[in-house]
Amino acid sequence: MRQQGRTRIVRMTSVALFVLVWQAASVWNARRQYLNPILFPSPLDMVRAAYDEAVQGILWRDIVASLARIFQGFAIGALVGVPLGCAAGYFRRLEDWVDPIVELFRPVPPLALLPLFIIWLGIGEVSKILLIAFSTFFPIFLNTTEGVRSMDPLHLRAALSLGANRWQIFTNVAAWSALPGIIVGLRLGFALGFFVLVAAELIAADSGLGYRIQESRNFFLVDRMFVGAAVIGILGFGFNLVLRRLEDLLLRWRSTIVQAQI
Amino acid sequence: MSGPPCESIGHKLEVSGVRKVFQPEDGRAPVVALERFDLAVDDGEFVCLLGPSGCGKSTLLNIVAGFVRPTEGRVSLDGAEVRGPGRDRGVVFQEHALFPWFRVGQNVEFGLKMAGVPRQERVGIADRYLGLVGLQPFRQAFPKELSGGMKQRVAIARALANDPKILLMDEPFGALDAQTRRLMQDELTKIWATTGKTILFVTHAIEESLLLADRVVVMSPRPGRIKALLAVPLSRPRSDVAGDFVALKAEIQELLRDV
């Protein structure tokens, strides 16, 4: 416990030092005019810019617009990916039908399909949400399938000898065995969804954090561009934290919780 | 089909003419794991399958459990042919095989829950069997919080809670340290005496088979077959230093030597 506390202090100090050094460097640069200070705003400049955006109300609007897209897209990706992944992992016969198609689509970077999605579905919300759903689907599906297949054959035998039928084995054994994989898939899917969201907003949107970065660029508001990137970073960090907490809660029965690397 | 027809009535478990051939997928020569195996176990009897690794003792247990189909021959329990795994045969594995995501109580209730026994009732039954293995206070614990011996006791309680006709145990104490193992052997003897279950127990330890069984089936490998059937006429509780125990042990050692 004390070790943990010390680790936390070191980590916070590291962040604080980073911000301080950045601030000092910006102030120093502003005095010496070494580089154009407009291109390299300080952390304080960013706070000021964020405050302005918040007062104008556009910061919240952007956050809400971006989060609405990611949540809808992520939800669709998960609602399709988890059940389909469970089925493909549990029924060997389905596996051979689904796997090759997934493997065919998987190497295509989702952004390569953005123009197609826009042509098909227009520049509105649907194209972006479905692109996020599409990109989150793959890590979720693949990790779910892998998770179901990781079921210990000994557990299968134990359940069979205790009288469980196929459906009961799925709900009481296979689904639980898959849970760690499903959570890894959700986390990877969310990270990828975030990535695609911002890229899609940069290219084709009239609201959202990615759009704001693009718009700020047009008006040469570099501090606002930094704010956009920082807010995206903070949101991503926050959701990853929430998902990790959820993981710890759902997997507290595990002897060692292996943290996935993103 | 080979093997004699089984006319005898009254045996709990009958294994007749069982042969098992494993065909390796890579085209190597087939392996005969069991050859013409006959065994009858009576109601309430404690029988040990004893032999070195590769003698097919675990294969036989898996066939009785229904996990593996025999190439030839048949297994019947109370006269009904075994065609697959089922709740009438409780299995305890070498690695406890508890479900780590369920608490101890939920593990013990598992079979009853699958059978649709109402919650109230199955909690009561689970409690009784947890009491039998002395683990009632650990109802709410997760398996990872238990020691190896405790996990194996939960596994025994889980198998018994289903009230199976026979208990099949595949080297259940093989992974435990010597001291825990000795305790578990005593405990199992008590459980057997209390419940009156028929038990088929696989082991490669001579002492273990002599401490536990009414009868020891000594097996020889390649192909697996019965070398000798030995009655253990020792009264319980047994001591592994008593003269007649040591004599029996020497006899089995002699049998296993020229395997």
| Res. A2 pLDDT band, cuts 50 70 90 | low
CA–CA min distance B143, chain A (Å): 8
Residues A24 and A136 in one domain: no
Portion of chain A with pLDDT greater than 70, in percent: 97
Give the pLDDT mean for A71-85. Answer: 95
* CATH number of the domain where residue A97 is located: 1.10.3720.10
In single-letter form, the type of residue at position A20 comes to L
Tokens of A261: 């690397």
Residues A9 and A80 in one domain: no
Tell whether A18 is covered by a domain: yes
- Long-range CB pairs of B68-71 (<8 Å, 24+ gap) are B68/B20, B70/B18, B70/B19, B70/B20, B70/B34, B71/B19, B71/B20, B71/B21
Q: Does B115 touch chain A (CB under 8 A)?
A: yes
Interface with A, mutate which of B68, B95, B110 (most A CBs under 10 A): B110
Q: Does B147 touch chain A (CB under 8 A)?
A: no
CB proximity under 8 Å: B 78-107 to A: 84-87, 89-91, 93, 95, 97-102
pLDDT value of position B26: 84
Residues A80 and A111 in one domain: yes
Tell whether A261 is covered by a domain: no
- The Cα A39–Cα A115 span in angstroms is 31
Range of the domain at A15: 1-40
Please choose, from the candidates A174, A132, A134, the residue with its C-alpha nearest in 3D space to the C-alpha of residue A153: A174
Residues A162 and A240 in one domain: yes
Q: Does B73 touch chain A (CB under 8 A)?
A: no
Residues A241 and A123 in one domain: yes
Q: Do B111 and A163 touch (CB under 8 A)?
A: yes
Whether B168 contacts B89, CB under 8 Å:
yes
Residues A108 and A125 in one domain: yes
Order of strands, edge to edge, in the sheet holding B11-22? Answer: B31-42, B11-22, B72-77, B80-81
DSSP state of B17: E
Q: How many domains is chain A partitioned into structurally?
A: 2
DSSP output for B201-255 = EEES-HHHHHHH-SEEEEEETTTBEEEEEEE--PPSSP-TTSHHHHHHHHHHHHH
* Whole-model pTM over 0.90: no
* ipTM at complex level: 0.91
pLDDT value of position A256: 63
- Give the nearest chain A residue to B101 (CA atoms): A253
Please say if the pLDDT value at position B166 is more than 90: yes
pLDDT digit string (tens) for B135-153?
999 999 999 999 999 999 9
Q: Do A253 and B84 touch (CB under 8 A)?
A: no
| Res. B1 pLDDT band, cuts 50 70 90 | very low
Of B90, B115, B142, the CB nearest to A253: B142
Residues A6 and A95 in one domain: no
Tell whether A262 is covered by a domain: no
Q: CA A129, A135, A138, A140: dihedral to nearest 10 degrees?
A: -60
CA–CA min distance B142, chain A (Å): 6
Residues A82 and A187 in one domain: yes
Residues A4 and A70 in one domain: no
- Give the nearest chain A residue to B108 (CA atoms): A162
CB atoms within 10 A of CB A72: 17
